[in-house]
Amino acid sequence: MFFTKLKHIGLTGIAMTLLLLGAVVYAEEEPSLPAGLTSSQSQEEKQPSLPSGLGIEPVSPNEPGMEPSLPSGLKIAPSLGPTEEETVLEKNPWLDITGFWEVRSGYRLRNDEYEKDASIGETRLQLEMQKNIENFTFELTTDLYYDWVSENHSVNLERGEGFLDLREASVAYTPFDFMDLKLGRQILTWGTGDLIFINDLFPKDWQSFFIGRDTEYLKAPSDALKASFFTDLANIDVVYTPRFDSDRFITGDRISYWNGRKVAGTDDIVRTDKPDDWFDDDEWALRISKNAAGCELAAYSYWGYWKSPAGMDTSTFRYTFPELNVYGASARSQVGKGLGNIEIGYYDSRDDQSGDDPFIDNSQIRYLIGYEQDLPQIARDFTVGLQYYVEQMLHYGDYRRTLPAGKAAEEYRHLLTFRITKLYWNQNLTCSLFTYFSPSDKDVYMRPNINYKVNDNLAVEVGSNVFWGDYPHTFFGQFQNNTNVYVGLRYSF
């Protein structure tokens, strides 16, 4: 718009405007000095200093184009100006408690013969407590909730089921200047993708993500010890999870899925055989990172298990979590006018390294490249992000050769994501759309969301999870019948 205006006015117009400005704008507009600034005149003439709040001249500081009166603090000599009262520290409460209360309701837009029409119907109270004692920080975040869509209300802390989801129960300690420790239940995240994870092998809650909970619930907690070392050369993070923490994966309980033969749901709940021996079925995750003048470089390793079921025990027909090691790297930096990121990961499927076991997922290489930018040329508070992700199955020939009857996966799964965000009304209204689109799978997952902050405590939102696909067996296509719309109301305190 500005461009157009400029063209209309033309250069002559600008020049004339500028000339006129010089002549017109500066006539008799001097502001009076605000309190706290000294008037030269008053000092030269040795007049008594003006009291705080009064200007030198009887001119309203709000009058357009007028000289401002000196603000409080400038009317008298700076050396004599008021000094700030000794900084009054706010009393720290003994225990720092914050949180929110939320109501959320959602419905399926398509008929699903195996699931309820309601996709979510919950009320949730999150209490977050923090206490600092000496060098220790204790944190406890508990979500008490009731979801009347779910029939299972007995507490399962691993899966966050029942009426209690323990999000955080940890203690952090800094034994040395160069080292941090955090032990206990905690949310862990690293990597560069936007809602795509390659080297972040901490547990995800896909069910929460799909049924319309806040995005923060995509991250499920880990029960782990995190040790971080900070050196000039690089920083090192080591996360040890003594007992495997899987994703909160799709089970058919709330979200229908492709079971290999058909779309199933409550009629075919996923039964798994999960590695669960303490200190035996453990996970190690390592990151070495360096911020080189704004370019963030990182190398990653992971030794553990596929986070969601990736195999089947043919004797019991239970899904399994085969062994997995991952080695990867990422870089993130400013690129041109925006931000660029690349990430790569080699998924070494330890139990099927030759790729000829049809009941265990093959090894993969995963690639990601992303770019995000503000577009003030188009609109204020407008951001667009784009990512291109590829999942390459290794030993594809062996996979095809040994595949039993059924739909074969593609060797390359291509996935594009688009994020568009626009803010309105002093940034109190946020409209966003995140879209996954796979040209190889021919499926789409869209996450439109509108969130309005009614005031500093209350927010309302409406959103949707839209799944669409040409085939019922593809990653997002299988969830087609779970397409839902939800509304939420959150009071934060």
Partner 1 sequence: MTERISLTILMCLLSLGSYTIAESTTAKAADVKSPEEKTLSVDEIVNKTNHVAYYLGFDGRAKVKMTITDSQGRKRIREITMLRWDQPDPNQPKEGQRKDSTFCGEQKLYAFFDRPADVYKTVFMVWKHLGKDDDRWMYLPALDLVKRISATDKRTSFVGAHFFYEDVSGRNIDDDVHELVKTTKDYYVLKNTPKDPKLVEFSHFDMWIHRKSFIVVKTDYYDNQDKKYRTYEALEIKQIQGYPTVTKAKMTDLRTNGSTIAEYSNIKYEIGIPESIFTERYLRKPARRYLK
**Interface stretch with partner 1, choices 172-180, 264-272, 356-364, 397-405 (CB under 8 A):** 172-180
Residue number with CB closer to partner 1 (259 or 432):
432
Residues numbered 363-382 forming contacts with partner 1, rule: CB under 8 A: 372-376, 380-382
136 part of the interface to partner 1, by CB under 8 A: no
Question: Nearest CA to 291 among 328, 333, 327?
Answer: 333
CA separation, residue 64 to residues 25, 28, 59, 429 (Å) = 10, 11, 11, 31
Residue number with CB closer to partner 1 (91 or 405):
91
CA separation, residue 316 to residues 272, 273, 312, 351, 398 (Å) = 10, 9, 8, 18, 24
Residue number with CB closer to partner 1 (39 or 478):
39
Tell me the C-alpha distance between 281 and 279, whole Å: 6
83 part of the interface to partner 1, by CB under 8 A: yes
Residue number with CB closer to partner 1 (221 or 265):
221
Q: Please report how close the Cβ of residue 186 comes to partner 1 at its closest, in angstroms.
A: 7
User: What letter represents residue 414's amino acid?
Assistant: H
CA torsion 355-361-365-369 (nearest 10°) is 160
207 part of the interface to partner 1, by CB under 8 A: no
Residue number with CB closer to partner 1 (152 or 215):
215
Q: Please report how close the Cβ of residue 453 comes to partner 1 at its closest, in angstroms.
A: 8
Residues numbered 320-349 forming contacts with partner 1, rule: CB under 8 A: 332, 334, 337-339, 341
155 part of the interface to partner 1, by CB under 8 A: no
87 part of the interface to partner 1, by CB under 8 A: yes
Residue number with CB closer to partner 1 (26 or 146):
26
Query: Which x/- pattern over 227-266 shows residues binding partner 1 (rule: CB under 8 A)?
Result: -x-x----x-------------------------------
Interface with partner 1 (CB under 8 A), residue from 134, 294, 315, 405: 294
Q: Which residues contact 395 (CB under 8 A, 6 or more apart)?
A: 354, 355, 356, 362, 363
The CA-CA-CA angle for residues 251, 256, 260, to 5°, reads 80
Residues numbered 8-67 forming contacts with partner 1, rule: CB under 8 A: 9, 14, 17-18, 20-22, 25-26, 30-31, 33-41, 56, 61-62, 64-65, 67
Q: Please report how close the Cβ of residue 98 comes to partner 1 at its closest, in angstroms.
A: 5
Interface with partner 1 (CB under 8 A), residue from 81, 184, 252, 322: 81
**Interface stretch with partner 1, choices 81-89, 241-249, 410-418, 470-478 (CB under 8 A):** 81-89
Q: How many residues bind partner 1 (CB under 8 A)?
A: 104
Q: What is the largest CA-CA distance in the chain?
A: 101
Q: Please report how close the Cβ of residue 32 comes to partner 1 at its closest, in angstroms.
A: 8
Q: How far is CA 72 from the centre of its chain?
A: 43
Residue number with CB closer to partner 1 (132 or 316):
132
Q: Is 174 in a helix, a strand, or coil?
A: strand
Interface with partner 1 (CB under 8 A), residue from 152, 231, 354, 427: 427
Long-range contacts of 25-31 (CB under 8 A, 24+ apart): 25/65, 29/65, 29/66, 29/67, 30/57, 30/59, 30/66, 30/67, 31/59, 31/61, 31/66, 31/67, 31/68, 31/69
75 phi-psi bin (left φ>0, alpha ψ -120 to 50, beta other): alpha
Q: Is 26 exposed, middle or buried (0-12, 13-18, 19+ CB in 10 A)?
A: exposed
Tell me the C-alpha distance between 199 and 462, whole Å: 31
Q: What is the DSSP string of 85-118?
A: PPP-PPPPPSSEEEEEEEEEEEEESS--TTS-SE
Q: Please report how close the Cβ of residue 55 comes to partner 1 at its closest, in angstroms.
A: 10
Residues numbered 448-467 forming contacts with partner 1, rule: CB under 8 A: 451, 453, 455-457, 459
Q: Please report how close the Cβ of residue 436 comes to partner 1 at its closest, in angstroms.
A: 16
